[in-house]
Structure formats: C-alpha cells, structure tokens
Amino acid sequence: MSTTLVFGGTGQLGQCLQHVARERNLTDIVFLPEEQADILDAGKLQAVFRQYQPAYCINCAAYTAVDKAEDEVDIARRVNRDGAENLARLCSEFNTTLIHISTDFVFAGTGNQPLVETDEAAPISVYGLTKLEGEQVIPTHTSQYFVLRTSWLYSEYANNFVKTMLRFGREREEMRVIWDQAGTPTYAIDLAGCILTIIESQSQAYGIYHYSNEGLTSWYDFAQAIFELSNTPVRTVPIRTAEYPTKATRPAYSVMDKTKVKTTFQVAIPHWRDSLKVCLSRLS
C-alpha cells in the first residue's frame, strides 16, 4: 500500500486508526505530529505533501465542540470548511485520494426513516453547517474523494459519551439522560476498519457514504446499555430534550442507512450493542 497521511491523528478516530493499522500490520500510514498537521497552514501542508507524495489522505481533523461553535462560528468554519478545502486542493495537485470524515449533524433530523446519502442536508447548528460546507467545497477541487458521515462516535480513546457515562456512574446514584433523540452509536474502531478497507480496496467508487454501527437507539437506552453491560449500579431517568437545553440544537432523528457502504466495499457492520461490549471489555 502506498503512503497514507492522517491529519488529526492524535484525536479519537486517529488513535483508533493507529490501533487498527497495528492489528493489520499496515506500516505505510503516517500519523503526522501536531506541528506538521495544521490543516489551516497551507505552506506546511504543501511541504508535507511534497515530502510524502501520498496516495491517500485521511482527514480526521475537525472542530467538534458543538455548543461552543454557536459562538465561535469563524474558527469552526475555518477548520471544518477551509481546512477541508486546503486538503482537497493539495489532493488534486498531488493526485491523492481524500478520505474526509463528516457527521450526521448535516441533517435536520426531522424525519423518521433511515437517512440515505442523497437525502437533503439541512443542518440546524453551526457545527452541522460548517461540516456540510466542508463536504460541499471538496468536489470543487478534486473528484477523488470519499466522504464518510458518521454519528455518536465513541471508543476507549479520548473523551466520549461512553467514558463520560462510566465516570458519572461511579460518582452518582442517578443519571438523567435524553430519550427523545434517536440515532446510532459508532464504535470508532469499526469506522477505522472501514476506512482502511476502502484504502486497501483501491476503489474508485468516489462519493459520499454513511457509516455507523447497525441498529438504532436513544441516548437514554445507550446509557442504560453502558451501565448494564459494565455492571454499574446507577439509576437512569429518561428526560426530554427540552429538559436539558443546550446552545446548539441536535437532530431528533439521525439514523443513517448504510446500504451503500456495505454493498460497495463488502464491509460487515456490527450491531451497536455488540461493538459496545467489545469497547467495554477493552476499557475494563
């Protein structure tokens, strides 16, 4: 496999890519140190691409502070849109295939059917809007790209919902968790595996794809499963979104259809509960 560059390699998904790359004995993947990996620094990016002449570029770098983005619109847009544009320009110049990670937040979440890639994107938060702008700017510079939209990402790495629930479960007797938002948790190890499978396939079936684990749940039921499977004795109380106001509005329903990624790359996607068991066993 030719060289693959990973931007955002120290984040949750980047660490999961390192984990899966080790498992698959893939050695031609470069996880760039932070001083080289600033996707807003066009000069440094140019030097990195010139040095490595990558066949693939994976963009895991993003501004993901959903509520802060409502106040920090400019920096969210710079990272999520302008950073994606910088990479797309260089991918075109160096004949590199771009794999860009996006989000279910590009959807309004007002429906009740699993979302396919061609469904209308209508974000209801600054974070979702800037991630959509990143998706939209990529094809203006390169045709060799894969955009992977994902949702509710967690793993044994970095900060995420699963690790937060486990910590709170040890500290509290009762947890109040939202039950009227439906989606699908995604074990970032599984997503990393799909990304590397796409690279190994050398496929040219470019475009937008959805990837999460199978099934659907609410945040309340997800928390319940975390506590049940980890034997954490905490009482869980379901609450409505209106009882836990946040600066940014979240999609009420963001379950994504994965038919396209499964049929194109022949990937088997585990049910979210099965992957949660794996993650919890590794955390313990």
Catalytic residues: 127
68 burial class (0-12, 13-18, 19+ CB within 10 angstroms)?
middle
Contacts of residue 277, defined as CB under 8 A and 6 or more positions apart, other chains included, come to 229
Q: Which residue has the tokens 């699993």?
A: 114
Contact 70, 125 (CB under 8 A): yes
68-74: list long-range contacts, CB under 8 Å, 24+ apart.
68/247, 69/125, 69/126, 69/127, 69/130, 69/248, 70/125, 70/126, 70/247, 70/248, 71/247, 73/126, 73/130
Rg (CA), the chain: 19
